[in-house]
Structure 1
Amino acid sequence: MSQVGRDMSRGTGPGAALLRAGRVLAAMWRLGLAEAVAYRAAMLVWILTTTFPLVSLALWYSLAADGPIGDYGRADFVAYFVAAFLIRQLTASWVVWDLSAQIASGDLSTLLMRPVHPLLHHLMQNVAALPVRMALALPLGVLVLVLAGGISVEPGLHLLLVPLAVILAWLLGLCVQTCVACLAFWVTSSTSLFEVWLGLYMVLSGYAVPTSLFPAGLVAVVRYLPFHASLGFPVELTIGRLSGPEIAAGFATQVVWLALFGGLARWLWRRGLRAYGAVGA
């Protein structure tokens, strides 16, 4: 038996540590999945409240009856808004509500006593819910495509990059929500601040209207904001509306904003824990 094998059998060494970490993550994922399945009815209600892209589709599809609007025809609007609806399901999370409530109530203390990082607990809960969320949302997206007569998305290498863009968008949203949730260490209603973020997100991310249809001067700004990096970029990448340089710029924008909000979340968490402990929580 190799040295690594002997260390793992004794429960020592880096191999054993990785094995334990894998088991812990798997257990957390199973727990999160069981919770998502148990609350699938509530999740379905949440999904139905995020169908705004499909409402926008009905509007723009009707407006495009007499001809294309900008560079979008009827089929383009169908592809865009169905992709926006599904990618919204894949990139959404609820860390801001759960974590801020735990900080305000003192329940965070219980998580801090566990052998895993509290933020890892929230991350795994959100990851585990993705299969259930997509199982509920995908039939609705397919139904819309059938009613609209289907779409044709040009195949290409860009499709291989879509999972990476979605993962980065999800991580960016997670970091933003963690930043806002950490403000609960100092303020009583951090979730109210997140409502402001959501309002800007709905307008500037491409959630209600493709950002390429904005006035030219505004497009140049909006496409480099975190809102577009969270939704508009992965959607446009999915339906094949971006050139090579635009794809590179989109990924660069995602990485920059992820680094900024990730660093800010880390700083707020550390400062917040000191304030949390100072009051004897």
Structure 2
Amino acid sequence: MSLGPKLGALWRLGVAEATAYRASLLVWVLTTALPLVSLVLWHALAADGPIADYDQRAFDSYFVAAFLVRQLTATWIVWDLDRQIRTGELNALLMRPVSPVLHHAMFNLAAMPLRAGLAAPVAALVLIATGGMSLADSASSWLLFVPALILAWLLAFSIQLCIACLAFWLTRASDLYDLWISAYIVLAGYLVPTSLFPSGFGEVARALPFHATLGFPVELLIGRLDTAEALTGIGIQLAWLALFMTLGAWLWRRGLRAYGAFGA
């Protein structure tokens, strides 16, 4: 059987699983609504005037976009693969004619339409309350936003894969992801736009993979980047993606050789 029908079958299984657990998915969507909390804070702080180049509408636009981009770049392979390695569930996936990594990628992507559908009403209510948002008005920004969003998801997936593969040697690798998330919340533009960071620190933050997975596509979506800045951002995404994909492939191969999970 060619790869196409296999991927189609995985997609259908992923959609069925996401639909069956839609209540849990809604809870997950709501637990990633921290940017909307930040919106309330920064909207209030900007009531007396703009903060740097962000007024109230700009903050509203940024954090609603951050909420939506977060939903569209979500992945959870780090928790699933970590559990499967520790419990021996990975054995069943290894016996299938499709790579377990591809299995997880398809399941994560298959849940995306439902996740976006659940997030859209939440974002719509916020926009009604705040009076709307400003989006990019140039065709180049919209054309570049699509690959930027795809690369952001691939980068997030690759990072989680690298961390999950450490479960081949560690008791619970997903705990390490908590450290990553802590840095992500600070450096990705999740709580505050990185352009508001102090000079020097902001430039460093914008070159890191955290910003490449969230802040960069958000700024592109709301029209705060020109074409040159957008292309630079995509270049940064590609560089980090090449690094983490290479590292992930190496860890996966080495990990399979050392695989000795309980029940294996």
Tell me the alpha carbon deviations over residues 49-92 of structure 1, each in whole angstroms, 9 at most, x when there is no partner: 11000000000000000000011000000110000000000001
Identify which of 16, 28, 34 aligns with 1:34. Answer: 16
The alignment status of 1:208 with 2:181, answered yes or no, reads no
Residue 198 of structure 1 deviates from its aligned partner by 0.2
Counterpart of 2:64? 82
Question: In 1, Cα distance between the equivalents of 2:25 and 2:261?
Answer: 37
Tell me, yes or no, if the aligned pair for 2:163 and 2:173 is still in contact at 8 Å. Answer: yes
Q: How well do the aligned residues superpose, as a CA RMSD in angstroms?
A: 1.3
Identify which of 175, 183, 188 aligns with 2:171. Answer: 188
Question: In 1, Cα distance between the equivalents of 2:196 and 2:217?
Answer: 17
Counterpart of 1:169? 152
The alignment status of 1:108 with 2:115, answered yes or no, reads no
Question: In 2, Cα distance between the equivalents of 1:277 and 1:256?
Answer: 33
Question: In 2, Cα distance between the equivalents of 1:144 and 1:33?
Answer: 27
Question: In 2, Cα distance between the equivalents of 1:72 and 1:279?
Answer: 53
Question: In 1, Cα distance between the equivalents of 2:76 and 2:202?
Answer: 29
Counterpart of 2:218? 235
The alignment status of 1:225 with 2:195, answered yes or no, reads no
Opposite residue 249 of structure 1, the aligned amino acid is T
Instruction: Report sequence identity in percent.
Output: 60
Question: In 2, Cα distance between the equivalents of 1:124 and 1:215?
Answer: 40
Question: In 1, Cα distance between the equivalents of 2:86 and 2:224?
Answer: 44
Residue 153 of structure 1 deviates from its aligned partner by 2.2
Question: In 2, Cα distance between the equivalents of 1:152 and 1:280?
Answer: 53
Counterpart of 2:255? 272
219-228 or 269-278: which moved more?
269-278
Residue 280 of structure 1 deviates from its aligned partner by 8.6
Give the direction of change, closer, same or farther, for the CA distance of 1:190–1:84 in structure 2 (3 Å limit): same
Identify which of 36, 49, 74 aligns with 1:67. Answer: 49
Identify which of 146, 161, 170 aligns with 2:128. Answer: 146
Residue 279 of structure 1 deviates from its aligned partner by 8.9
Question: In 1, Cα distance between the equivalents of 2:120 and 2:153?
Answer: 18
Question: In 2, Cα distance between the equivalents of 1:243 and 1:263?
Answer: 30
Residue 151 of structure 1 deviates from its aligned partner by 2.0
TM-score using structure 1 length? 0.91
Give the direction of change, closer, same or farther, for the CA distance of 1:278–1:191 in structure 2 (3 Å limit): closer
**Other structure's SS at 2:42 match:** helix
Counterpart of 1:22? 4
**Other structure's SS at 1:189 match:** coil
Question: In 2, Cα distance between the equivalents of 1:237 and 1:251?
Answer: 10
Size of the aligned set, in residue pairs, is 263
Q: Which blocks of at least 5 consecutive residues in structure 2 are unaligned?
A: none
Larger radius of gyration: 1
TM-score using structure 2 length? 0.97
**Other structure's SS at 1:240 match:** coil
